[in-house]
C-alpha cells in the first residue's frame, strides 16, 4: 500500500510543486505525493520547465490551498520553507511532520539563464534529498515489519 505525502510551501508555486512531481516520478511505486500552500497562487512556469528537462511533466498541476486537504490522512506532511513550517496547522495531528528547507528559486535574480540555473539547483537538491530521505524511511519500514 502506498503512503500519502503532502508537501507544503507558502504559495504552492515552485518547491512544493517540484517535490510533488519528483516524488511521484521517482518514488511513485511506494508513495503518492500531493502539494499545497498556505496560500494558493500559480505554478511557476520555470518550475514546469526545469522538471520537463528531467522528464517530469507538471504542466497540468495547479496551485492548491492547504484547506483542500482538510480531513485527509497523510503519513507525512513535509514543509519545504520556513513560513509553511511555522503555519502548518494542527489538523495534521498524528502524522509525521518533517521540515526539509530549500531556498526559494522564485527569488533568484539576474538574466533568464541565471534564474533557471537557480531553479535547476533547487530541483536537483529536492530530488537528492527526497530520494535519500524516503530511501531511509522505506528501509526502516521494511526492517520493522
SS (H, E, C) 65-89: EHHHHCCCCCCEEEECCHHHHHHCC
Query: Is the confidence at residue 143, as pLDDT, over 50?
Result: no
More confident of the two residues 141 and 39: 39
Copy the grid coordinates of residue 11: 504559495
- Domain range for 114 is 3-144
Residue tagged active-site, from 5, 6, 8, 9: 9
> What integer pLDDT is reported at residue 144 of this predicted model?
44
More confident of the two residues 68 and 143: 68
Query: Is the confidence at residue 89, as pLDDT, over 70?
Result: no
User: Is 9 tagged catalytic?
Assistant: yes
More confident of the two residues 136 and 26: 26
8 A C-beta contact, residue 15 and residue 44 = no
What dihedral do alpha carbons 81, 6, 59, 127 form, nearest 10°? 60
8 A C-beta contact, residue 16 and residue 87 = no
**40-86 pLDDT, tens digit each:** 899 999 999 999 999 999 999 999 998 898 888 899 999 898 665 56
Mean pLDDT on 90-113: 84
> What integer pLDDT is reported at residue 81 of this predicted model?
82
User: Is 14 tagged catalytic?
Assistant: no
Domain count, the chain: 1
Residue located via cell numbers 486537504: 69
> What integer pLDDT is reported at residue 145 of this predicted model?
42
CATH of the domain at 61: 3.40.50.2300
Greatest C-alpha distance within the chain: 51
Residue tagged active-site, from 47, 81, 106, 130: 81
Distances (CA, A) of 93 to 33, 69, 84, 89: 18, 13, 16, 9
Residue tagged active-site, from 22, 50, 51, 88: 88
Query: Is the confidence at residue 95, as pLDDT, over 90?
Result: no
> What integer pLDDT is reported at residue 110 of this predicted model?
97
Amino acid at each position: 500500500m502506498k503512503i500519502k505525502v503532502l508537501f507544503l510551501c507558502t504559495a504552492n508555486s515552485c518547491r512544493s510543486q517540484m517535490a510533488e512531481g519528483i516524488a511521484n516520478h521517482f518514488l511513485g511505486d511506494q508513495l503518492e505525493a500531493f502539494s499545497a500552500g498556505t496560500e494558493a497562487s500559480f505554478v511557476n512556469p520555470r518550475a514546469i520547465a526545469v522538471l520537463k528537462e528531467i522528464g517530469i511533466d507538471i504542466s497540468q498541476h495547479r496551485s492548491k490551498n492547504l484547506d483542500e486537504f482538510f480531513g485527509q490522512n497523510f503519513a507525512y506532511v513535509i514543509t519545504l520553507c520556513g513560513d509553511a513550517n511555522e503555519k502548518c496547522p494542527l489538523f495534521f495531528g498524528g502524522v509525521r511532520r518533517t521540515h526539509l528547507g530549500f531556498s526559494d528559486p522564485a527569488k533568484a535574480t539576474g538574466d533568464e539563464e541565471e534564474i533557471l540555473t537557480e531553479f535547476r539547483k533547487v530541483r536537483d537538491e529536492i530530488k537528492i534529498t527526497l530520494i535519500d530521505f524516503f530511501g531511509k524511511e522505506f528501509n526502516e519500514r521494511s526492517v520493522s515489519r
